[in-house]
Amino acid sequence: MRPVAAAGSRIESLTAEPLDVAMKEPFEIAGGSTTRVRNVLVKVRLRGGAVGYGEGAPLSAFNHDTQAATLAALRRSAAKLVGEDCDRLRPLLARVEELLGPERGAARAALGMALADAWGRRHRLPLRLLFGGAQDQVRSDVTVTIVPARAARAAARRIVALGVDTIKIKIGRDVEEDEARVRAVASARRGLRLLLDANQGYGPRQALQLLRRLRRAGIAPALFEQPAAKDDWRGLSDVHRFGRVPVAADESVANRQDALRMAAKRCAQVVNVKLMKCGLLEAWDIALICRASGLGLMAGGMIETSLAMGCAAHLAAGIGGFDFIDLDTPLWLARDPMTGVRFGAGGCYELRKAKAGIGVRPGAPPRGAVASNDTE
Ligand SMILES: [Mg+2]
């Protein structure tokens, strides 16, 4: 029997608008370059007055998703959700999945996040408690994108100065240049934990070639993410076996079925969980499938503000046991348009500061809107 909803938990309104943010510098990966963030912002208001915010970050260099398609899908679905009960959060997130379909990961993420945030604000509970409350903070790495070695060394020094001890290095275009970039980063400080991410730019042959070169230079990466095309699971397995390095599946694991298959086949040792690949509920389930089957976990994202990154931090902290946290993209923005919990000293997201929901919201009311009186 469905529980009778208190009127205050019903969805009163749901809006989606562009969230365009200028970047400090381009974000260059094997699949292409991003020079401007074209995300979306969803706002959900419940009848009892609680307001929740969600962010969608379509990234065409990753999976060809776009802002226009995300906004159109959200606007089509919004009317169908008005009147639904936000206290039935899991079934409501399942309905969001069904309405938006598997192609609209960023739209699913934005809407699911806004509903979870509204739920948390209504009950005055931070989201990390919804996900299990395992930890109250996570520490992120910082990424060095595909830039020349000299710029990579300078970037690594800036990262070390932030107190961050894990650096993720984007590679996947040219083995020689990639080797030079990794060596330059490694030279910034002894003992740095280095993660490589080829974003499918390599096949296993080039990945193993790079690992051999790095080994000769005395460099052993702690993780090699997506060293082969997303469907080349044999390639992932070969890089682990012959390269003697833990491999992370990012593009290769985009839904529950992929996670279940990876749990059975063990071609990678770690899965990168991203809200934008599939939405909040499916990312949550993927993380639990991985935990239950002994696969390692990474929390990642596309190019997101503190809102979506904060939500991912709650998910990772709540479930606990994520060995890799990659939630640094607010650093790429000319100005983060959000206030609240953020990437802080040492790459730390202090989630104790979030009193309800994600604990992050837009810094200024959306254009033309009346200032809201919702609580953090
Ligand atoms: Mg990746």
pLDDT of the residue at 46 = 98
CA of 271 from ligand 1 middle (Å) equals 10
Q: What's the token pair of residue 265?
A: 């086949």
CA of 18 from ligand 1 middle (Å) equals 25
Same fold, 7-124 and 129-361: no
CA of 17 from ligand 1 middle (Å) equals 27
CA of 346 from ligand 1 middle (Å) equals 21
pLDDT of the residue at 365 = 40
CA of 353 from ligand 1 middle (Å) equals 28
> What is the CB neighbour count within 10 angstroms for residue 231?
10
- 129-361 belongs to CATH 1.20.1300.10: no
Alpha helices by DSSP H, the chain: 60-63, 67-81, 89-100, 105-123, 127-130, 149-161, 175-186, 204-216, 233-243, 256-265, 275-278, 280-293, 306-319
Distance from C-alpha of 240 to C-alpha of 198, rounded to nearest angstrom: 14
pLDDT of the residue at 370 = 38
CA of 225 from ligand 1 middle (Å) equals 6
CA of 197 from ligand 1 middle (Å) equals 6
Distance from C-alpha of 258 to C-alpha of 252, rounded to nearest angstrom: 7
CA of 62 from ligand 1 middle (Å) equals 9
List of residues 6+ apart from 135 with CB closer than 8 A:
128, 317, 318, 320, 351
| Measured CA distances, 7 to 11, 85, 90, 162 (Å) | 9, 8, 18, 47
pLDDT of the residue at 19 = 98
Q: What's the token pair of residue 189?
A: 């400080």
Domain locations along the chain: 7-124, 129-361
CA of 236 from ligand 1 middle (Å) equals 13
Type and span of the H or E element at 138: strand 137-139
Distance from C-alpha of 330 to C-alpha of 353, rounded to nearest angstrom: 18
β-strand pairing of 348-350 with 137-139: antiparallel
pLDDT of the residue at 182 = 98
Burial of 161 (0-12, 13-18, 19+ CB in 10 A): exposed
CA of 80 from ligand 1 middle (Å) equals 34
CA of 189 from ligand 1 middle (Å) equals 24
Query: Which of 259, 28, 247, 37 shows the shortest CA–CA distance to 152?
Result: 28
CA of 184 from ligand 1 middle (Å) equals 21
pLDDT of the residue at 364 = 58
CA of 29 from ligand 1 middle (Å) equals 9
CA of 28 from ligand 1 middle (Å) equals 12
pLDDT of the residue at 369 = 39
Contact 195, 171 (CB under 8 A): no
CA of 302 from ligand 1 middle (Å) equals 9
List of residues 6+ apart from 312 with CB closer than 8 A:
273, 274, 275, 299, 300, 301, 304, 327
How long, in residues, is the chain? 376
Contact 222, 246 (CB under 8 A): yes
pLDDT of the residue at 60 = 80
Q: What is the pLDDT along the chain (376 residues), one digit of tens a residue?
A: 555 557 899 999 999 999 999 999 888 888 888 888 999 999 999 999 999 999 999 988 777 889 999 999 999 999 999 999 999 999 999 999 999 999 999 999 999 999 999 999 999 999 999 999 999 999 999 999 999 999 999 999 999 999 999 999 999 999 999 999 999 999 999 999 999 999 999 999 999 999 999 999 999 999 999 999 999 999 999 999 999 999 999 999 999 999 999 999 999 999 999 999 999 999 999 999 999 999 999 999 999 999 999 999 999 999 999 999 999 999 999 999 999 999 999 999 999 999 999 999 999 544 443 333 333 3
- 7-124 belongs to CATH 3.30.390.10: yes
